[in-house]
């Protein structure tokens, strides 16, 4: 196997910042190195990997290069601009840099630094036999489908009722439509690995709207197989995920590490 790895890193981190994050999640410290660098290092030492391509944010690309360009260059990583608004644009831009002699392409989330060596080996072993392989875990919780629109649950103050006031907004709630069976449903992770020609063909389709690359391959009518994922292979989406990832990797936040001074 001659593998190229694409790491889309162009996301706006909107959910992360909405949860209180003060910087892009891929810039957060993970044991003295940025999350993005930790993710790249998952693949950098693999013998089968001949190219790693990181696609940064389009609008903030110069700033991205300032923060990460030197470190990625030392790791032999190729860097390109990502898409303006969609993930598929980012992956498509990175595909243009994949060497023609690569037999397979892996796509892995930049904010998923906890993928274990065993998980990656499991996906790659399956990719030797199948054209499209994704890792996934079982759904542990009950699933329910809810109404699209939220309704406002109010506390009605007696004085408001007398005066005709609207009451105080307490919370927004959505009504349950049905309980969905978890049978045969899985939560999909990355890395997702594809035969190079298959992924290129998937990205030649006119409609590229999909939340993952396997979805585009499915649209071609090609089979996608699932291997066992890892619950520890979390994606950092909100600030609490960062703390969980640090615990999984056994690293401390910057303020918790010893500082060695030189005199």
The pLDDT tens digits of the residues spanning 184-212 come to 999 999 999 999 999 999 999 999 988 89
Q: What percent of the chain is modeled with pLDDT above 90? A: 76
Per-residue pLDDT at 66: 95
Per-residue pLDDT at 151: 73
Tell me what the pLDDT averaged over the chain comes to. 90
Task: Tell me whether residue 220 is in a domain.
Answer: yes
Task: Tell me whether residue 258 is in a domain.
Answer: no
Same domain, 238 and 121: yes
Same domain, 81 and 168: no
Please report which confidence band the pLDDT of residue 24 belongs to, taking 50, 70 and 90 as the band edges: confident
Per-residue pLDDT at 148: 85
Task: Tell me whether residue 263 is in a domain.
Answer: no
Same domain, 16 and 60: yes
Per-residue pLDDT at 84: 84
Per-residue pLDDT at 204: 95
Same domain, 17 and 60: yes
CATH number at residue 216: 3.90.550.10
Task: Tell me whether residue 10 is in a domain.
Answer: yes
> Tens digit of pLDDT for each residue in 111-166?
999 999 999 999 999 999 999 999 999 999 999 999 987 777 665 566 665 665 55
Per-residue pLDDT at 263: 33
Task: Tell me whether residue 260 is in a domain.
Answer: no
Range of the domain at 41: 3-137+186-253
> Tens digit of pLDDT for each residue in 228-245?
999 999 999 999 999 999
Q: What pTM does this model have?
A: 0.87
Query: 11-15, 67-71, 83-87, 192-196: which has the minimum mean pLDDT?
Result: 11-15
Same domain, 130 and 214: yes
> Tens digit of pLDDT for each residue in 42-58?
999 899 999 999 999 99
> Tens digit of pLDDT for each residue in 78-108?
999 998 889 999 999 999 999 999 999 999 9
CB atoms within 10 A of CB 245: 24
β-partners of residue 134 are: 226
d(CA 260, CA 258) in angstroms, rounded, equals 6
CB atoms within 10 A of CB 75: 15
Distance of CA 177 to the CA centre of its chain: 29
Per-residue pLDDT at 160: 61
Same domain, 243 and 167: no
Q: Does the pLDDT value for residue 37 go beyond 70?
A: yes
Q: Are strands 176-180 and 78-81 parallel, antiparallel or unpaired?
A: unpaired
């Amino acid at each position: 196997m001659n593998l190229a790895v694409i790491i889309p890193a162009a996301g706006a981190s909107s959910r992360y910042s909405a949860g209180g994050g003060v910087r892009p999640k891929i810039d957060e410290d993970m044991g003295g190195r940025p999350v993005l660098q930790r993710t790249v290092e998952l693949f950098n030492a693999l013998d089968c990997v001949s190219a790693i391509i990181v696609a940064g944010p389009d609008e903030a690309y110069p700033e991205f290069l300032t923060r990460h360009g030197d470190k990625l260059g030392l790791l032999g990583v190729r860097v390109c601009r990502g898409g303006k608004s969609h993930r598929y644009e980012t992956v498509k831009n990175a595909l243009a840099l994949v060497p023609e002699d690569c037999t397979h392409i892996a796509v892995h989330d930049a904010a998923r630094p906890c993928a274990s060596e065993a998980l990656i080996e499991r996906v790659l072993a399956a990719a030797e036999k199948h054209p499209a392989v994704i890792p996934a875990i079982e759904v542990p919780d009950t699933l329910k489908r809810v109404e699209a629109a939220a309704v406002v649950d109010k506390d009605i103050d007696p004085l408001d009722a007398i005066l005709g006031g609207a009451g105080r907004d307490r919370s927004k709630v959505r009504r349950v439509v049905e309980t969905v069976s978890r049978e045969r449903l899985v939560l999909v992770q990355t890395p997702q690995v594809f035969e190079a020609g298959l992924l290129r063909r998937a990205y030649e389709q006119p409609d590229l709207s999909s939340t993952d690359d396997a979805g585009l391959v499915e649209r071609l009518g090609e089979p996608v197989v699932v291997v066992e994922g890892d619950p520890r292979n979390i994606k950092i989406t909100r600030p609490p995920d960062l703390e969980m990832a640090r615990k999984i990797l056994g690293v401390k936040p910057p303020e918790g590490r010893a500082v060695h001074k030189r005199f």
